[in-house]
Amino acid sequence: MTMTGLFARIRATPRSRVRKLGITVAVLVIGIFLTFGFLGIRFNSSPSLPVGLYIITSDEHANLVEFCPGEPFASLSIARGYRDQGVCADGAAPLLKPIVAGGGDVVDLSDRGISVNGRLLRNTVPLLKDSKGRELQPWHFGHYAVASGAIWVASSYHPRSFDSRYFGPVSTSAIRHRLKPLLTL
């Protein structure tokens, strides 16, 4: 059947059947997302991590975290569309990022990127403009001893990740959950 034929069949279908089908699909999608939330499963479609499903874990050594960014970075990320609607206090979705440094580590941030304990992480060069040409302000370049109760997060998966290269260290109290991959592409 051609696409034209498919659309003709849909147009020929009584509106009440199309409406019922639409409502059924909407209920199923909402139900799946509610079930995922109840089971502690998160879906990631951002390029900061592989696309897929991640599950909440109680493993304190899991290196993926879900957190709500602090101000002024929370407002900036909402205004620029870096975060969708979600469950953070600001009404936006939490960020899901890999931890690259924790208490006791040494972080160097420069125009070359983020180095942790002397090892430069790929794809962490701070950019001066986002994908829409808007100015980005990197965190202050320098040498940082990561304090207990703080982490640095960064994605080596994609050079345009909004992470610690722009907002610096994250308090561990901002961590909502630790996650591990369940099913990724």
pLDDT by residue (tens digit) across 110-152?
999 999 999 999 999 999 999 999 999 999 999 999 999 999 9
- Whether 183 and 138 have beta carbons less than 8 Å apart is answered as no
- If you average pLDDT over every residue of the chain, what do you get? 91
pLDDT digit string (tens) for 33-57?
777 777 888 889 888 899 999 999 9
- E strand residue ranges, 87-174: 95-101, 106-110, 113-116, 119-120, 142-145, 150-153, 170-171
Q: Which residues pair with 92 in a beta bridge?
A: 85
